Amino acid sequence: MMQYLDPKFLIEAVGIIGVIAIIFAESGLFFGFFFPGDSLLFTAGLLASQSLLSLPVLLVGSFIAAVLGDNVGYAFGKKVGPALFSRENSFFFNKKHIERSREFFGKYGKKAIILARFMPIVRTFTPILAGVGSMEYRTFFAYNIVGGFIWTFGMILLGYFLGSVIPDPDRYILPIVLIIIVLSVLPAVRHIRFKNQ
């Protein structure tokens, strides 16, 4: 099962259209939270530096998918509303993810739309909560555009740059991806630690 969440394996299996579809699903569909968005974008950028993927298509496609995904999440939150909080836990849904995202949204307000892009799980549920909380759509959309741009272009171009300057970058994908995962999870771990003190 874990190999299917390995970014390089995923990219080789689904191609550039698959990468774009995964970014859309992780950004806006509540069951997409388990996709490795950060490491997927980084690895795709690294592979683009080796001419295995088209960089312009990857950049534009991922950006559009991230923005559209968040819009779908917002619309879903607006439609479902408070009923989301009384939903039973299932394989694809866990109330603790919503609660964690709600705390994050409560702490950072509008900026959460941008900051959440860099936090797995929270990234998926924050736009839904913006819709639940009836955040003005124009405000949400503006922050969504900025967050989507910084996240997709930033992660892809970081991978592309490192892939361009490091010889034989394939050897370093796994350790770099592990570092990205650790850095992504650190804020959540720190939050839980302080909360339990």
Q: What is the pLDDT of residues 83-133, one digit of tens each?
A: 666 666 655 556 666 676 777 777 777 888 888 888 877 788 888 888 887
The residue ranges of DSSP E strands in the chain, in sequence order, are none
Domain count of the chain?
Answer: 1
Domain ranges, residue 109: 2-195
Q: Which tokens in the block code for residue 98?
A: 């919503």
Cα separation, 78 vs 83, whole angstroms: 10
CA-based diameter of the chain, in Å? 52
**What are the CA-CA distances from residue 160 to residues 11, 20, 54, 105 (Å)?**
15, 17, 11, 31
Whether pTM exceeds 0.75: yes
pLDDT digits (tens, 9 = 90+) for 120-165: 777 888 888 888 876 889 999 999 999 999 999 999 998 899 888 8
**Assigned token pair, 175:** 């350790």
Look-up of token digits 């559009």: 64
Which one, of 77, 84, 147, lies nearest residue 110 by Cα?
A: 147
